[in-house]
Amino acid sequence: MTSPATSSVNRRLRFAKGHGTQNDFVLLDDRAGALDLTPALVRALADRRAGIGGDGVIRVVPTASVPEGAAILAADPGAIWFMDYSNSDGSVAEMCGNGVRVFAAYLERLGLAEVPEGSGHADAALAIGTRAGVRYVRREKNGWYSVDMGPWRLTGGKDAAIAGTDAEVAVAGLEIARPALRVEVGNPHVVLALADVDELEAVDLTRAPDVRPVPLHGINVELVVPLGEELDDDGAVVGRVRMRVHERGSGETRSCGTGACAAALAVRTWAGAGAPDAWLVEVPGGTVRVRLLPSGHVELAGPAELVAEGEIDPGALGLDIQIKA
């Protein structure tokens, strides 16, 4: 029996579909904070054959209505909208770097916020609440969105930085396990370097890599090939990296924003003193830019595209939607 606090309604659900470098998401407008976004609903929406399809589901919800809201609003009262993100398997994630950009574009589409244009930490920015804390989004002149992703750290600290490794990863298609470096960017990552692009393309990411030590809550695995350095349009030195990723809860995806940050930070650590602060990270879905900020934070910049809007009948998915009264 449905509780008095909710009503079970087989209503049509409005959605949008968006992606950031082909890391794609189903987006839901729940500005009233009334939708019970269950793991079953997430899995049904993200199903690429029977649902809409996506690497994850993102819900727009008032920050004040979620358990994390009090801490987020204490940190920044301007973060009135919360990015409620779930992986395609229904598991809840701390945040998603590509998803934050798409979330910001969706807020603009809904008329709930405007993303200021700017390129520096002192510039005005749109504050967004996430489970990893407040994230700040700006629009660049080329139409990209840049996100201050907050502080980062090597999981193993200074010892890992000196050794260049604090983990071991076995990947299908590689004969032996490889040393790797763990990086925290609001969520957990482990990065391993491969010899060349041919080796990168040959690995099999249909199966989850085996990571040691075993992560308690899962981990994202990035495989990278450093491609050297070059000059950007302003004459500054930037590094370039190619990457593939296996995301916890989603499998291999075409892109991962926090993974791109982790990949760039790991390669920069391995490169040592004098390495560039800015990196272009090539993923199967395109290219993003990662930059180490003077504050010690890391910034991610890239495109965000909204490609469709519509409605879906949850009854056709075999589900009822729980709506708070």
Catalytic residue numbers? 96, 256
* Tokens 């049904």 found at: 44
Q: 227: buried, middle or exposed (CB in 10 Å: 19+, 13-18, 0-12)? A: middle
Cis peptide before 67 (omega within 30 of 0): no
Do 173 and 202 form a contact (C-beta atoms < 8 A)? Answer: yes
**Which amino acid, one-letter code, is at 221?**
V
Helix (H, G, I), strand (E, B) or coil at 201: helix
**Assigned token pair, 172:** 């299908």
**Which amino acid, one-letter code, is at 190?**
V
Q: Which long-range contacts (CB under 8 A, 24 or more apart) does 112-117 make?
A: 112/31, 112/60, 112/81, 113/81, 115/139, 115/145, 117/141
Do 325 and 9 form a contact (C-beta atoms < 8 A)? Answer: no
* 3-state SS track over 130-143: ECCEEEEEEECCCC
Residue 274 falls in which region: left (phi positive, over 0), alpha (psi -120 to 50) or beta = left
